Structure 1
């Protein structure tokens, strides 16, 4: 049975909480709706790493099919329908940096090499491997999911929290020193302009 947990933000000192006879475990992160939630911290790096691990787990369960003699187009369909959705679940809400996207692409390229049974020592270019596997590029899938979610938010006429969170401005007018962190909308502005 999963223990009951409680999270505190950085402004509160964690202290033991007892409800009835149950002592709540104090944690700094928690998996909720299959995504990592961390208060006061960016959870995107941890979530990308977690999604890569889950993608490899899904790939490993199907490894006997990927290494079999079935036609490549069936392996491609299996990858696109069973592994890629695991790796991109919830990605429409992430803010992406070049490093986060690179991690996902490297994991996908490693999986494609495993499907074909080639290694890095074979010195085959990624373009050649992609032309043989024909799997959906993870960056394109994430971009498509992000556009779909942006359209969904833009079409809303009610006053739900999704649009409020997107348009939220911090209370203070000052920001911390340095480059601001990448925001969710930065990807959309980069592709479509303001």
Structure 2
């Protein structure tokens, strides 16, 4: 999930990412169709977090990092920018 902290996330995107991660984890654990386990048990066995929580943690970490930068940094200016005027 490289760069996930800056993604514009929707429920559809998060769901697609989570489905992909779950299928990869099931392949790693060699779990095939008749042998099914719940997603929460899968995450517990692999010591993983749901994709939404992981993205949220990374986003907060990135925001904190960006706000600690100097005030003339472009990334910080973009976060604090308040456009004036009407559309």
TM-score by length of 1: 0.39
Alpha carbons of 1:127 and 1:136: their partners in 2 closer, same or farther (altered >3 Å)?
A: closer
Hey, what does 1:8 align to over in structure 2?
none
TM-superposed deviation, 1:144:
1.9
Hey, what does 1:109 align to over in structure 2?
22
Deviations 1:128-147 (A, max 9, x none): 22222223433332222211
Q: Could you tell me how far apart the structure 1 residues matched to 2:77 and 2:26 are?
A: 43
Structure number with greater Rg is: 1
Structure 2: stretches of 5+ with no match in the other structure? none
TM-superposed deviation, 1:105:
0.7
Equivalences for 1:29-108 in 2 at 5 Å?
A: 88-108=1-21
Q: RMSD value over aligned CA atoms?
A: 2.2
Which has the larger strand fraction? 1
The structure 1 segments of at least 4 consecutive aligned residues displaced by more than 4 Å after TM superposition are 169-172
Which has the larger helix fraction? 2
Q: Could you tell me how far apart the structure 1 residues matched to 2:32 and 2:86 are?
A: 52
Aligned length: 87
TM-score by length of 2: 0.77
Q: Could you tell me how far apart the structure 1 residues matched to 2:66 and 2:41 are?
A: 38
Greater relative contact order structure (CA < 8 Å, 6+ sep): 2
